[in-house]
């Protein structure tokens, strides 16, 4: 009897410890999953915070751009149209007075005509700046060519182009691309003091590559991207909208090269 | 009152309480909860019968087979409704396993008087796998009935070994046996507490009431 009991006693601790081992394992498993879940949730939160932050930045840039644009339009309207119309109104008042000689009347009318012509020209130009009609009427290629020609017409800079475009983007996307080129040209002249600008557009099966090169002062890419001003931010967000990526290559005093790649479905 | 009595009484009381509380879920017509409620109810019935047999000094071991098969069917369908809704094949396999286990006893009735290791391990392991998968899903999103799931994992995993050693233990003296069943009752109390906690945390109020708050 004693022997049997001692044997029993040997088995019991083994079974009991095995049971507790299993219990322990189950608890550890549950805890492990809990902690892993916590970690994963934290990571996801971090990710979404970063995403939100960049979205906020883009939104901010958009609003800033919009405000700047409004200011520019207001300025243009004020300078080019309101001031000139004042002159017209003044002359008309004088004419209404009726105390002028025929010669003076002729002069005043001539003035009015001249001013109206310039106002017409200005309003046309402002409208053109806001949305180039050529883009709507003749497409991206002609619009880009005209844009480059306009810059080249100042004789201070030389523009070159090699445009091969198969009409695969929507009108809205074309406008984005046009604005990007506009911004690049403006940057080259304003910040880079460039004299030669070259635009290359390649459009092959499913991939569009826009290469822009100038001979301006150049800049430090890392720094520029970090503290990117409105212009560069604008370009970045537009490229993002186009589902593309932008690659900048530049050194001080060696000009800059912008390469923008956009993937698209060419036969849609 | 011995320690074992204490644990087994409290586990039975908790079981009864949970059956009553989860009846509400049954009324709400949530499929998974219906199966879980059926599980609790069957456990309660088996418990009552086994206590009656015990008091009459009659063998009640054969109930273990009903226990394992019922547990297997109810909890399998509980999990099937939670995360494997479209897997009809698993449903058929579950039913097939349950029937084939029952068939054994029809053919060899003498097996009824012993613990069936194959039955215990097969049904428990399948349930543990479901439970682990469900826990794994919890990594990505919130799941319903997570405390029940933890309870199933903890209780079934550790009690599996107790029942497996049951045949061996029943040959030993009652005193030695008692330790084992005390541990089992203790685990059962933990399980029932987790089930109760699930109700307390997530099922006490219906979702509509929470929204108004």
Q: Using a CB-CB distance cutoff of 8 angstroms, which residues of chain A are in contact with residue B157?
A: 22-23, 25-26
Confidence of residue A252 (pLDDT cuts 50, 70, 90): confident
Q: Using a CB-CB distance cutoff of 8 angstroms, which residues of chain A are in contact with residue B168?
A: 11
pLDDT in tens, B143-161: 788 889 999 999 998 888 8
| pLDDT computed for residue B71 by the predictor | 92
Whats the size of chain A, residue-wise?
A: 268
The reply to whether residue A16 touches residue B183, judged by beta carbons under 8 angstroms, is yes
HSE-CB for B155 with a 13 A CA cutoff:
21
Tell me the average pLDDT across A20-46.
89
Question: Rounded to a whole number, what is the distance in Å from the CA of B157 to chain A's nearest CA?
Answer: 7
Q: What is the pTM of this model?
A: 0.62
Q: Using a CB-CB distance cutoff of 8 angstroms, which residues of chain A are in contact with residue B158?
A: 19-20, 22-23, 26
Asked if the model's pLDDT at residue B208 lies above 60, the reply is: no
Q: Using a CB-CB distance cutoff of 8 angstroms, which residues of chain A are in contact with residue B140?
A: 40
Asked if the model's pLDDT at residue B85 lies above 80, the reply is: no
Nearest-Cα residue of chain B relative to residue A6:
B176
Could you tell me which residue, A86 or B85, shows the higher pLDDT?
Answer: A86
Asked if the model's pLDDT at residue B209 lies above 70, the reply is: no
d(CA A61, CA A25): 54
d(CA B29, CA A246): 56
Confidence of residue B136 (pLDDT cuts 50, 70, 90): confident
CA angle (A27, B155, B85) in 5-degree steps: 95
B121 touching A, CB under 8 A?
no
d(CA A266, CA A207): 8
DSSP notation for A109-161: HHHHHHHHHHHHHHHHHHHHHHS-HHHHHHHHHHHHHHHHHHHHTTSSSEEEE
pLDDT in tens, A10-19: 777 788 888 8
Contact A258, A212 (CB under 8 A): yes
Tell me the average pLDDT across A122-143.
81
Question: Rounded to a whole number, what is the distance in Å from the CA of A1 to chain B's nearest CA?
Answer: 11
Whose tokens are 């543990």? That residue is: B128
Contact B35, B67 (CB under 8 A): no
Asked if the model's pLDDT at residue B51 lies above 60, the reply is: yes
d(CA A136, CA A140): 8
Pairing of strands A196-204, A158-163: parallel
Tell me the average pLDDT across B178-206.
86
Phi, psi angles (nearest 5°) of residue A154: -75, -10
Confidence of residue A1 (pLDDT cuts 50, 70, 90): very low
Residues 144-163 of chain B whose Cβ lies under 8 A from any Cβ of chain A: 150, 153-154, 157-158, 160-162
Sign of dihedral through CA atoms A161, A167, A169, A174? positive
Predicted complex ipTM exceeds 0.85: no
Q: Using a CB-CB distance cutoff of 8 angstroms, which residues of chain B are in contact with residue A20?
A: 158
Domains present along chain B, CATH in parentheses: 3-204 (1.20.1070)
The reply to whether residue B138 touches residue A33, judged by beta carbons under 8 angstroms, is yes
Average pLDDT over all residues of chain B: 84
Asked if the model's pLDDT at residue A230 lies above 80, the reply is: no
Average pLDDT over all residues of chain A: 83
Asked if the model's pLDDT at residue A241 lies above 80, the reply is: yes
Confidence of residue B206 (pLDDT cuts 50, 70, 90): low
């Amino acid at each position: 009897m004693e022997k049997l009991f001692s044997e029993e006693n040997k088995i019991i601790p083994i079974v009991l410890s095995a049971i507790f081992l299993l219990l322990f394992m189950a608890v550890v498993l549950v805890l492990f999953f809990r902690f892993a879940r916590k970690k994963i949730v934290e990571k996801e939160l971090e990710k979404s915070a970063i995403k939100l932050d960049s979205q906020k930045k883009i939104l901010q840039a958009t609003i800033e751009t919009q405000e700047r644009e409004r200011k520019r339009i207001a300025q243009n309207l004020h300078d080019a149209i309101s001031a000139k119309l004042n002159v017209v109104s003044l002359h008309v008042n004088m004419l209404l007075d009726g105390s002028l000689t025929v010669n003076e009347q002729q002069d005043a009318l001539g003035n009015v005509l001249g001013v109206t012509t310039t106002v017409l020209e200005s309003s046309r130009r402002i409208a053109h700046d806001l949305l180039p009609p050529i883009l709507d009427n003749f497409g991206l290629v002609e619009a880009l060519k005209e844009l480059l020609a306009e810059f080249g017409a100042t004789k201070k800079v030389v523009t070159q182009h090699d445009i091969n475009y198969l009409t695969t983007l929507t009108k809205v996307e074309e406008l984005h691309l046009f604005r990007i080129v506009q911004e690049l040209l403006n940057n080259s002249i304003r910040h880079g003091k460039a004299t030669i600008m070259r635009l290359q557009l390649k459009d092959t099966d499913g991939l569009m590559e826009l290469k822009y090169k100038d001979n301006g002062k150049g800049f430090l890419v890392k720094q520029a991207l970090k503290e990117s001003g409105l212009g560069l931010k604008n370009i970045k967000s537009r490229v993002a909208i186009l589902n593309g990526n932008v690659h900048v290559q530049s050194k001080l005093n060696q000009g800059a090269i912008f390469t923008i790649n956009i993937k698209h479905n060419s036969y849609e | 009152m011995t320690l074992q009595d204490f644990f087994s009484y409290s586990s039975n009381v908790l079981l009864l309480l949970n059956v009553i509380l989860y009846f509400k879920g049954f009324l709400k017509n949530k499929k998974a909860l219906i199966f879980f409620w059926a599980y609790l109810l069957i456990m309660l019935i088996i418990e009552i019968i086994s206590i009656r047999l015990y008091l009459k000094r009659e063998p009640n071991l054969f109930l273990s087979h009903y226990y394992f098969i019922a547990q297997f069917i109810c909890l399998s369908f509980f999990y099937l409704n939670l995360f494997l809704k479209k897997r009809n094949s698993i449903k058929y396999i579950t039913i097939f396993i349950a029937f084939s286990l029952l068939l054994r006893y029809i053919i060899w009735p003498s097996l009824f008087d012993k613990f069936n290791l194959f039955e215990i391990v097969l049904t428990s392991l399948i349930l543990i796998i479901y439970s682990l998968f469900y826990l794994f899903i919890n990594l990505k999103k919130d799941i319903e009935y997570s405390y029940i799931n933890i309870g199933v994992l903890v209780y079934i995993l550790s009690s599996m070994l107790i029942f497996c050693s049951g045949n061996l233990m029943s040959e030993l003296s009652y005193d030695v046996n008692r330790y084992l069943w005390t541990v089992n009752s203790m685990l059962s109390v933990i399980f029932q507490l987790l089930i109760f906690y699930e109700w307390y945390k997530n099922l006490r109020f219906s979702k509509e009431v929470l929204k108004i708050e």
